[in-house]
Amino acid sequence: MSDFGLAEEVRQFLAANIASVEQLEVLLLLRAGQDTAWTLHEIYQRVMTNVSSIEQSLDKLCGHGLVEQGGEGKYRFSASPDVERVLEQVATAYKEMPTRILSALYGTPSSELQTFADAFKIRKPQ
């Protein structure tokens, strides 16, 4: 387990492929509906953030080979079995312990954060 309480491969996957909760939500939505080709509007109706932001997330996920855009502007999940295995762990962790996923996406392990904070402590002159 890493400092975030997640399996190392989950943490590495998130670091390499996911930059926001929105991207993760879009990816998990498409993964859950693998047999469905989704339009941008259909994804927006489920994720409910911002259409242009979702479009950027989809572009990034396509760039990572996790999603593909087909005809008629529809998107579908497209990942290898190895990635699917890791995504199963990601989905479970996000459902059961979302704060750990959020920490992995946006946080710094507490030991590194404390070391950084200690550098700014005001010390009395000796």
User: Is residue 123 scored above 70 in pLDDT?
Assistant: no
pTM of the model as a whole: 0.81
- What structural domains does the chain harbor? 8-118 (1.10.10.10)
pLDDT digit string, tens, across residues 74-91: 999 999 999 999 999 999
User: Is residue 9 scored above 60 in pLDDT?
Assistant: yes
Percent of the chain as helix, strand, coil, to the nearest 5: 65, 5, 30
Handedness of CA 105, 111, 112, 113 (dihedral sign): positive
